[in-house]
């Protein structure tokens, strides 16, 4: 620890995983930290639902999976002496509906078929070192997946799969850039290795980090404006009916782009950075947690998770690691499926949703319990996670993470490799903390 760090202060805005990680890391280095969160809880898009289910079962209504190669979050989990539980060992399959019939297909097989169709673009993208500021990315980023589909003679199954990927990307083919699809396939199919949840609930991670900050964490404190100078940063905060200004040497904005673009920032961000935040979309998503009196979806040698082109989106066993005869099934309806699922649930309750699961062996009765969370209706987030659509200029992506004077940025949307994952949020928090430390030493 150096004296220069002990003499400095930082305000972190947003108590999701990115903000919590950055705040704890900088506090460890001796900086005076204040963490501001507009909501009445920590965790951001990590939300474990514990009430309303039989026999004390619980499930994740927000961020859920940790992959075996998510190094930063795994290291952080170990440091808090938490434990990971392996889940969905058979990976994801695809359940594709056509003509009233649902066919189950191999996940690996479908991803391989898609990779073959994208092969020339994947090669060009890799030759360009997967850069988002070059001509290859510009061409791919300007086209939607839907436009590419129209130009190709794809099989019916591949077309259905591409619709079903809205349960992963949170965007339908018309709203997803071809670059995003090529980038994902070039990196490998998702969930290829082991997948995990945190034993006891994913919210144990943000709660554990928050406990380390004690009274330096201020809930129900909404940031309204930021005033920057060469010497410091001032933040206007509203807590209840009171507004005040706080000052620090540095500020980290660890909040979604949907909130950053509502802030009054003076002097204004560079035009490229402002454009990056203003044009970045967040995918609509509704997660439905259905508890049943038995796990009817369990079959020998069959996956416990499927991507589907059904209006309910993707689905998986949400608590296979928990005891009890009952089980919880998660429906993750991304893109246009979010509205469709919400509408069906409002009209028919769980019964209508259960009817869409008959192909999975669902019983002809309502679920024991149902909980539903629609993330685009959350005023602090307005969506699930960042989506790079054809309206986003790829060369602006680096601006999402680029410091602006004493103002720094974190969040899953700033991560290049792990965007959309909890690991991306954690990694970005560590990055922002490292950048501030480097800035202090450099000055």
Q: Which of 319, 350, 374, 305 minimizes the C-alpha distance to 56? A: 319
Contact 158, 110 (CB under 8 A): yes
Fold of 3-46+203-279+391-442: FAD/NAD(P)-binding domain (3.50.50)
Rounded-to-integer distance, Cα 434 and Cα 428, Å: 10
Rounded-to-integer distance, Cα 413 and Cα 424, Å: 8
Task: Pick out the chain residues at pLDDT < 70.
Answer: 1-3, 191-192
For residue 3, the model assigns a pLDDT of 53
* Angle formed by the axes of helices 71-79 and 422-442, nearest 10°: 80
Q: Which residues pair with 218 in a beta bridge?
A: 36
List of residues 6+ apart from 39 with CB closer than 8 A: 15, 219, 220, 380
Q: Which residues pair with 97 in a beta bridge?
A: 102
Which letter does DSSP use for residue 305 in this model?
E
- Tell me if residue 199 falls in helix, strand or coil: coil
pLDDT tens-digit readout, 278-329: 999 999 999 999 999 999 999 888 999 999 999 999 999 999 999 989 999 9
Which letter does DSSP use for residue 378 in this model?
-
For residue 429, the model assigns a pLDDT of 99
Rounded-to-integer distance, Cα 205 and Cα 201, Å: 8
Q: Which of 408, 18, 24 minimizes the C-alpha distance to 233? A: 408
Taking each continuous run of H as one helix and of E as one strand, the counts in the chain are 15, 23
Do the bridges between strand 66-67 and strand 195-198 make them parallel or antiparallel, or are there none, so unpaired?
antiparallel
Q: Rg for the chain (alpha carbons), in Å?
A: 22
For residue 191, the model assigns a pLDDT of 60
Percentage with pLDDT > 70 across the chain: 99
Q: For the whole model, what pTM was predicted?
A: 0.96
For residue 5, the model assigns a pLDDT of 82
Is 12 labeled as ligand-binding? Answer: no
> 86-196+282-377 — its CATH code?
3.90.660.10
Contact 16, 258 (CB under 8 A): no
Domain boundaries, the chain: 3-46+203-279+391-442, 86-196+282-377
């Amino acid at each position: 620890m150096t004296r220069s760090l002990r003499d400095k202060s930082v305000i972190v805005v947003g108590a999701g995983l990115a903000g919590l990680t950055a705040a704890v890391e900088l506090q460890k280095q001796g900086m005076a930290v204040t963490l501001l969160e507009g909501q009445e809880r920590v965790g951001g898009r990590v939300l474990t639902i514990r009430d309303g289910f039989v026999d004390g079962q619980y499930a994740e209504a927000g961020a859920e999976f940790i992959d075996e190669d998510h190094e930063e979050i795994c290291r952080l989990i170990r440091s808090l002496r938490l434990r990971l539980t392996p889940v969905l060992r058979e990976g994801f399959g695809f359940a594709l509906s056509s003509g009233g019939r649902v066919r189950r297909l191999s996940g690996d097989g479908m991803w391989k078929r898609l990779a073959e169709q994208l092969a020339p673009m994947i090669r060009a993208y890799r030759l360009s070192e997967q850069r988002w500021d070059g001509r290859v990315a510009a061409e791919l980023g300007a086209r939607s997946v839907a436009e590419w589909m129209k130009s190709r003679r794809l099989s019916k199954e591949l077309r259905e799969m591409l619709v079903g990927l809205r349960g992963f990307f949170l965007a339908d083919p018309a709203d997803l850039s071809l670059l995003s699809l090529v980038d994902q396939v070039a990196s490998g199919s998702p969930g290829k290795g082991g997948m995990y949840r945190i034993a006891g609930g994913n919210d144990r991670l943000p709660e554990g980090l928050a406990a380390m900050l004690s009274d330096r964490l201020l809930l129900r404190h909404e940031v309204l404006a930021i005033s920057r100078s060469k010497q410091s940063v001032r933040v206007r905060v509203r807590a209840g009916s009171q507004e005040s200004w706080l000052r620090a040497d540095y500020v980290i904005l660890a909040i979604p782009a949907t909130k950053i673009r509502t802030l009054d920032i003076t002097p204004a961000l560079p035009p490229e950075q402002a454009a990056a935040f203003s044009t970045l979309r967040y995918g609509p998503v509704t997660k439905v947690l259905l508890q049943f009196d038995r796990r009817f979806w369990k079959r020998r040698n069959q996956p416990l998770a499927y991507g589907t082109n059904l209006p309910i989106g993707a689905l998986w066993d949400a608590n296979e690691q928990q005891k009890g005869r009952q089980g919880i099934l998660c429906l993750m309806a991304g893109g246009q499926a979010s509205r469709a699922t919400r509408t069906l649930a409002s009209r028919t309750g769980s019964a209508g949703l259960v009817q869409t699961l008959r192909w999975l062996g669902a019983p002809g009765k309502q679920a024991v319990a149902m909980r539903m969370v629609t993330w685009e209706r959350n005023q602090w987030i307005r969506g699930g996670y960042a989506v790079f659509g054809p309206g986003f200029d790829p060369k602006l992506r680096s601006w999402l993470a680029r410091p602006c004077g004493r103002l720094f940025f974190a969040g899953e949307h700033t991560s290049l490799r792990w965007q959309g994952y909890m690991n991306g949020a954690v990694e970005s928090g560590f990055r922002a903390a490292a950048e501030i430390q480097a800035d202090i030493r450099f000055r």
